Amino acid sequence: MSYSLSIRTCAGGFSFLVHSVASGQLVIEDTVPAKEGESEADNFARLLTHPRLLGRDYERVRFLSNAPTTQIPLDDFRREDIVAIYRQVFSESTARAEDLAVQILPGLEVVCIYHLPSAIEQALREVFPQATIQNFPACLMAYVASRAQGMRSADYEGGHRGAVAFHVVVEGSNLLVVATSRGRLQYANSFVCENDADRLYFLLSVWHLLQMDSQYDTCNLYDVSPEFQNRVHEFIASVKSQALPSLVYL
């Protein structure tokens, strides 16, 4: 039997999912938290020798980094500039060129730059040379943008209602806000939020920044609780909620 494996960085360690390729059924879901004083690279090496991962035939292996990204237009992208661009956005970073990775989102015509320690990539390649490495926030951007391009309802046609598609993804303590206009990325940013009050604050801040219309524009929510959806609805008339697909298929 063949399996697909998804490994992802998470708060304080790494998580992994194993699915059956034939049925799509989730076989294993587990987390390997870091031990006190353990480096990220050592924690990752311990995950790769986890007994629940060994002895399976993996048809697909995907590593998803949860690191925040910065985006630049595809036409302006030059690989030799990524360190300067990244440090300009993340001013406290001392990242080297070998610890930065890029992911191109052709549908949005942007390039995402994110931190990927070379020790992590090397350890992954030694065990799973066929692995695909991607950035989870970038995958979410691509997914919600594809959803926006597929929407042809009145909420996205004519006048101001057709100007910007507004999407909010809640994933653990991360809040991702993405806005697109006719297939072009207008805004993308992630925020660390520990409660719904913080999530609502950042959501409404971006909503007002983009001059969205609370009576006519639609706020698309992904993986949110009914309680949070109701709170957003107190401020925005048109709110739609939906679930994200399993991350292994993003």
- 69-105, pLDDT tens digit by residue? 999 999 999 999 999 999 999 988 888 999 999 999 9
How many residues in the chain?
250
Whether 159 and 236 share a structural domain: yes
Whether 38 and 94 share a structural domain: no
Is residue 249 predicted with pLDDT exceeding 60? Answer: no
Residue 150 has phi, psi (to 5 degrees) of: -85, -10
Structure pTM? 0.82
Look at 159 and 214; give whichever has higher pLDDT. 214
The reply to whether 20 falls in a domain is: yes
The reply to whether 134 falls in a domain is: no
The domain spanning residue 152 has which CATH number?
3.30.420.260
The reply to whether 136 falls in a domain is: no
Whether 42 and 82 share a structural domain: no
The domain spanning residue 22 has which CATH number?
3.30.420.250
Q: Where are the beta strands (DSSP E) in the chain?
A: 2-10, 13-20, 26-33, 57-65, 69-73, 100-105, 110-115, 132-135, 165-171, 174-181, 184-192, 218-222, 238-242
| pLDDT at res. 149 | 64
The reply to whether 125 falls in a domain is: no
Token readout for 118 is 């070379």
The reply to whether 129 falls in a domain is: no
- Show the domain range for 56: 2-65
The reply to whether 233 falls in a domain is: yes
Helix (H, G, I), strand (E, B) or coil at 192: strand
The reply to whether 137 falls in a domain is: no
Total number of domains in the chain: 3
> How many CB atoms within 10 Å of residue 14?
23
